[in-house]
A and B are shown apart, each in its own frame.
Chain A
Amino acid sequence: MIKLDHISKRFGDIAALGDVSFEIPASQITIVAGADGAGKSTLFKIMVGLVKKDSGQIYFKGRDIGSDFSQITAHTGYMPERFSLYPDLSVEENLNFYADIRHVPHKQREERKHQLLEKTGMLPFKKRRAGALSGGMKQKLSLSSILLSAPEFIILDEPTTGVDPLSRLEFFNIIEDLKKEGKTIAISTPYLDEAERGDYIVFLKDGHVFKRDSIENLRQQFPAKLFRILPDGNIFDIMESVKKNSQLSESLYIRGKYIKYLQSGQESLLNLIPHREVEEEKPKLEDMYIYYERLAKKQRT
Chain B
Amino acid sequence: MTENIIQVKNLTKQFGHFTAVNGINFNIKKGEILGFLGPNGAGKTTTIKMINGLLKISSGQILIKDMDSEKYRKQLKQIMGYMSQKFSLYPLLSSFENIEFFGGISGLSRKVIKEKQEEIKALIDTAILMQKTSDIPPGIRQKVSLFVCLLTDPEIIFLDEPTSGVDPEVRRDFWFEIYHLKKMGKTILVSTHNLDEVEYADRMLIIHRGNLLMEGEPDRLLKEYGKNSIDDLFKEAILSEDKQHSEVTR
Are A135 and B164 CB-contacts (below 8 A) given A14-B135, A239-B176, A256-B196?
Answer: no
B41 CB-CB contact with A under 8 Å: yes
Give the Cβ gap from A163 to chain B, nearest Cβ, in Å: 6
Contact count band on A? 20 to 34
B68 CB-CB contact with A under 8 Å: no
A164 contact from B193, B196, B197, B230, Cβ within 8 A: B193
Q: Could you tell me the distance between the alpha carbons of A239 and B200 in the complex, rounded to whole angstroms? A: 13
Decide if A163 touches B40 in the complex (CB within 8 Å): yes
- In the complex formed, the residue of B with least CB distance to A289 is B168
Decide if A254 touches B39 in the complex (CB within 8 Å): no
Residues of chain B from 215 to 236 with CB closer than 8 A to chain A in the complex: 219, 230-231, 234-235
Decide if B137 touches A256 in the complex (CB within 8 Å): no
- In the complex formed, the residue of B with least CB distance to A239 is B176
Residues of chain A from 177 to 218 with CB closer than 8 A to chain B in the complex: 190, 192, 205-206
Decide if A192 touches B40 in the complex (CB within 8 Å): no
Chain A neighbourhood of B199, CB < 8 A: 256-257
A167 CB-CB contact with B under 8 Å: yes
- In the complex formed, the residue of B with least CB distance to A136 is B40
Are A192 and B164 CB-contacts (below 8 A) given A14-B135, A165-B195, A236-B176?
Answer: no
Residues of chain A from 14 to 45 with CB closer than 8 A to chain B in the complex: 14, 34-37
Are A236 and B166 CB-contacts (below 8 A) given A165-B193, A166-B235, A256-B199?
Answer: no
A293 CB-CB contact with B under 8 Å: yes
B138 CB-CB contact with A under 8 Å: yes
Decide if A254 touches B168 in the complex (CB within 8 Å): no
Q: Could you tell me the distance between the alpha carbons of A87 and B178 in the complex, rounded to whole angstroms? A: 38
A166 contact from B175, B200, B238, Cβ within 8 A: B238
Chain B neighbourhood of A256, CB < 8 A: 196-200, 230
A35 contact from B41, B166, B176, B239, Cβ within 8 A: B166
B169 CB-CB contact with A under 8 Å: yes
Residues of chain A from 267 to 301 with CB closer than 8 A to chain B in the complex: 286, 289-290, 293-294
Decide if A162 touches B41 in the complex (CB within 8 Å): no
The contact string, 1 if C-beta is below 8 Å from chain A, for chain B 27-49, is 00000000000111110000000
A134 CB-CB contact with B under 8 Å: yes
Chain A neighbourhood of B175, CB < 8 A: 236, 254
Q: Could you tell me the distance between the alpha carbons of A235 and B41 in the complex, rounded to whole angstroms? A: 32
Give the Cβ gap from A247 to chain B, nearest Cβ, in Å: 18
- In the complex formed, the residue of B with least CB distance to A132 is B18
Residues of chain B from 120 to 154 with CB closer than 8 A to chain A in the complex: 135, 137-139
A97 CB-CB contact with B under 8 Å: no
Q: Could you tell me the distance between the alpha carbons of A235 and B201 in the complex, rounded to whole angstroms? A: 12
- In the complex formed, the residue of B with least CB distance to A257 is B199
Are A134 and B40 CB-contacts (below 8 A) given A35-B165, A161-B165?
Answer: yes
Decide if B169 touches A134 in the complex (CB within 8 Å): no
Chain B neighbourhood of A36, CB < 8 A: 138, 165-166
Q: How many residues of B contact A (CB 8 A)?
A: 34
Give the Cβ gap from B186 to chain A, nearest Cβ, in Å: 14
Chain B neighbourhood of A255, CB < 8 A: 196
Q: Could you tell me the distance between the alpha carbons of A141 and B69 in the complex, rounded to whole angstroms? A: 41
Residues of chain A from 53 to 77 with CB closer than 8 A to chain B in the complex: none
Most buried by A among B39, B135, B168, B197: B168
A125 CB-CB contact with B under 8 Å: no
Decide if B172 touches A253 in the complex (CB within 8 Å): yes
Decide if B167 touches A35 in the complex (CB within 8 Å): yes
The contact string, 1 if C-beta is below 8 Å from chain B, for chain A 154-184, is 0000000111111100000000000000000
Give the Cβ gap from B42 to chain A, nearest Cβ, in Å: 8
Give the Cβ gap from B228 to chain A, nearest Cβ, in Å: 11
Q: Could you tell me the distance between the alpha carbons of A136 and B169 in the complex, rounded to whole angstroms? A: 27
Q: Could you tell me the distance between the alpha carbons of A164 and B219 in the complex, rounded to whole angstroms? A: 22
Chain A neighbourhood of B239, CB < 8 A: 166
Give the Cβ gap from B243 to chain A, nearest Cβ, in Å: 13
Q: Could you tell me the distance between the alpha carbons of A164 and B179 in the complex, rounded to whole angstroms? A: 25
Decide if B137 touches A37 in the complex (CB within 8 Å): yes
Decide if B39 touches A35 in the complex (CB within 8 Å): no
Give the Cβ gap from A132 to chain B, nearest Cβ, in Å: 10
Some 24 contacts from A to B, beta carbons below 8 A apart, are A13-B135, A35-B166, A35-B167, A36-B166, A37-B137, A134-B40, A135-B40, A135-B41, A162-B40, A162-B164, A162-B193, A163-B40, A164-B40, A165-B234, A165-B235, A166-B235, A166-B238, A190-B166, A236-B175, A256-B230, A257-B199, A289-B168, A290-B168, A294-B169
Apart from A236-B176, A253-B172, A290-B169, what are 8 other A-B pairs with CB-CB below 8 Å?
Answer: A35-B165, A35-B167, A136-B39, A167-B39, A256-B196, A256-B198, A256-B200, A293-B167
